Amino acid sequence: MLAIVPSATLNGLDGRLIRVEVDVAPGLPGFTIVGLADAALQEARERVRGAIRNAGFVHPPRRITVNLAPADLRKAGASLDLAMAVGILLGSEQVRAGGGRVALIGELSLGGEVRSVPGVLPMVSALARRGLRRVVVADAAVDEARLVAGVEVCGVATLEAAVDVVRARRRARTGVVPPRIELVEGSARGGEDGLPPPVEAAGRVVPDLEEVRGQAPARRGLEVALSGGHGLLLIGPPGSGKTLLARTIPGLLPPLDDAAALAATVVASAAGEGPVHALRRQPPFRSPHHTVSYAGMVGGGPHLSPGEVTLADQGVLFLDELPEFGRDVLEALRQPLEDGRVAIARVGRAAIFPARFQLVAAMNPCPCGFAGSTDRPCGCPALVPGRYQRRVSGPLRDRIDLWIAMPRVAPSALVGGPDPEGSAAVRGRIAAARSVASARPHGLLNGRLTGRLLREACALDASGRRALIGLAELERATGRGTERILRVARTIADLAGSETVRADHLEEAAWYRPADLRLAAAEAS
């Protein structure tokens, strides 16, 4: 007898409705899965067989054929296990459906327990879009599935419990959390505060900004960069506090607005990084090691998994030791930095992942790290430091608006001096500046402004224009350099609560210009 059970798989970040058709027919006992199933799915036969037997049912000694429709879509992962097992039970008439279509998403253990799978949120959302209103997921994934409005979610721990739902002996719980799952373009807006203290991925508590002593220009630059979503590069010798400063970022970013939080939550769900209980309001902060591979950075691999640029969507991508990253890895950042998304094409498949991250990077001034230090000589040959710093070139150089050199802090400043400002005060100013920027007609952060939008946002008066012309010399009078000054100056004015961009805002913005321009000036003097 034929049974059809709806389920879903993940394709990139999108859920896809899959019709699991199970035919239990007379003939030699066997179990075949057709419909472009990958290796993990083929192994589902053993899991399903074990789970059915150990849950107290009978694995029918018949000819079982499972077809996964649509047939042309490659399917991967274990999310279809539960649907297949239930299909076999229905097809062999051990279970009779109690009415109403129910979709099932979950992996099975040999003992018959139902486990959660990555990407429940996008899968349930896809089912909802296709009109399915009742979904069975693993207990651990109930909170995640209930983020989708208008869907009855039923959490189950075992195959038996799932069968109960199918028999309609058990009531499903209705989703109550309001937001609709729709990925819409939109900028982050300051939302309600009062979240638990942010925690890094590794479980370490995020350091507070008051732990960073000295480095006034770097603290200021970080505040400007986060306020406007500008690319930031910190250059300094080991021990100057680059990494510590970058690690304070999660505590400085305002919480995500609904749309952004939804997008971030979908990515977190699809990446399978732990259970998702609520919308992720905390902007992601990713710091991949410099040995990260090309696919690890942009995404890809056999299952089209999202890469670091996508995991950092709506948040910050921090690249420590920037020049040590592979050249092709850095080159691959070009598209996401320009478009805010990354397109991955593989034979027969393609996916577009969001990648609206803010780039923050750190590097040493030279290979040995001590160029310009007064307390330790640099061991590099004469022209090497300049060459090392010029290695940051091309697309990256143009997308980094703030370049800040961080000399080592004198011990006296580390011990004495006034206590620096803490993260909370700075976070407040950043959130205020961001809301000013997003209140403009286009709603973009300043870091994404170019051309006409940028000129309109700045609206320089005569004295400002004069100042800008003078400062453009420092940028070798290039168009990109001038835009860079304008973008940063707009953010500085936002931070200062100023409607117009004034000369002193432009002057401060010009201070953050690329290091190679300063090196050239120093060589010529």
Partner 1 sequence: MLGVGLAGPVGGDGIEEASDLGPVGPATSPPATRPWVQTGEERDAWAVLAGVHGIGPVAFAALLARYGDVVSILREASSPGGVARLANPPDDVLPDAAARALGPEVAQAIAEAAGRASATLARIRELGLRVLTVEDPLYPMRLARIEMPPHVLYLLGDPAALSADAAVAIVGTRRATDGGRAFAARLATNLVAVGASVVSGLAVGIDGAAHAAAVHAHGTTVAVIGSGHAVLHPHAHSRLAASIVAAGGAVVSELGPDIAPSKGTFPRRNRIVSGLADATVVVEAPARSGALITASWALEQGRECFFVPGAVDAPASAGCLSYLREFPDRARIVAGIPQLIEDLGLADRLVEPDVPTDVAATLSGIGEAAKRLAHELVRGRATVDELVAATGWPVASVLAGLTLLERRGLAVGIHGRFRPAGTLAGTDPGRRRQRPRPARLATSGGPRA
**What is the rounded distance in angstroms from the CA atom of residue 127 to the CA atom of residue 150?**
11
**In the complex with partner 1, which residue's Cβ is closer, 159 or 400?**
400
Least CB distance to partner 1 at residue 524 (A): 6
Least CB distance to partner 1 at residue 404 (A): 8
**In the complex with partner 1, which residue's Cβ is closer, 116 or 364?**
364
Least CB distance to partner 1 at residue 490 (A): 14
Q: Applying CB under 8 A, which residues contact partner 1?
A: 214-217, 219-220, 235-236, 365, 371-374, 377, 381-383, 385, 404-407, 409-410, 413, 417, 470-471, 473-474, 492, 504-505, 507-508, 510-512, 515, 518-519, 521-525
**In the complex with partner 1, which residue's Cβ is closer, 17 or 218?**
218
In the numeric block, the tokens 């100057």 are attached to: 240
Least CB distance to partner 1 at residue 525 (A): 4
Least CB distance to partner 1 at residue 355 (A): 31
Dihedrals φ, ψ of 118, to 5°? -65, 145
Please tell me what DSSP assigns to residue 199: B
In the numeric block, the tokens 């239930």 are attached to: 86
- Measured between its terminal Cα atoms, the distance across the chain in Å is 88
**In the complex with partner 1, which residue's Cβ is closer, 153 or 233?**
233
- Spatial contact of 488 and 512, defined as CB atoms under 8 Å apart: yes
Contacts of 412-415 with CB under 8 Å at 24 or more apart are: 413/213, 413/214, 414/213, 414/214
**In the complex with partner 1, which residue's Cβ is closer, 312 or 503?**
503
Least CB distance to partner 1 at residue 186 (A): 30
Encoding tokens for residue 200?
Answer: 């890094």
Least CB distance to partner 1 at residue 446 (A): 16
Dihedrals φ, ψ of 102, to 5°? -125, 130
Least CB distance to partner 1 at residue 206 (A): 23
**In the complex with partner 1, which residue's Cβ is closer, 118 or 481?**
481
**In the complex with partner 1, which residue's Cβ is closer, 367 or 372?**
372
Least CB distance to partner 1 at residue 401 (A): 14
Least CB distance to partner 1 at residue 508 (A): 4
**In the complex with partner 1, which residue's Cβ is closer, 33 or 471?**
471
Output the CA torsion sign for 298, 302, 305, 308: negative
**In the complex with partner 1, which residue's Cβ is closer, 57 or 512?**
512
**What is the rounded distance in angstroms from the CA atom of residue 150 to the CA atom of residue 458?**
44
**In the complex with partner 1, which residue's Cβ is closer, 7 or 373?**
373
For residue 296, what are the contacts with CB-CB under 8 A and spacing of at least 6?
A: 288, 307, 308
**What is the rounded distance in angstroms from the CA atom of residue 507 to the CA atom of residue 472?**
10
Task: Spell 450-483 as b/e; 16+ CB within 10 A means b.
Answer: eeeebeebbebeeebeebbeebbebbeeeeebbb
Helix runs in 341-442, H state only:
384-390, 394-399, 411-415, 423-438
For residue 238, say if its preceding peptide bond is cis, omega within 30 degrees of 0.
no
Least CB distance to partner 1 at residue 189 (A): 26
**In the complex with partner 1, which residue's Cβ is closer, 216 or 424?**
216
**What is the rounded distance in angstroms from the CA atom of residue 442 to the CA atom of residue 190?**
16
**In the complex with partner 1, which residue's Cβ is closer, 151 or 515?**
515
Least CB distance to partner 1 at residue 223 (A): 10
Helix and strand numbers, DSSP H then E, in the chain: 22, 19
**In the complex with partner 1, which residue's Cβ is closer, 413 or 439?**
413
64: three-class secondary structure by DSSP: strand
For residue 362, what are the contacts with CB-CB under 8 A and spacing of at least 6?
A: 233, 234, 235, 236, 242, 243, 246, 318, 319, 320, 321, 322
Q: Which candidate, 358, 345, 262, 360, places its Cα nearest to that of 299?
A: 345
**What is the rounded distance in angstroms from the CA atom of residue 415 to the CA atom of residue 371?**
24
Least CB distance to partner 1 at residue 391 (A): 15
In the numeric block, the tokens 């995404």 are attached to: 299
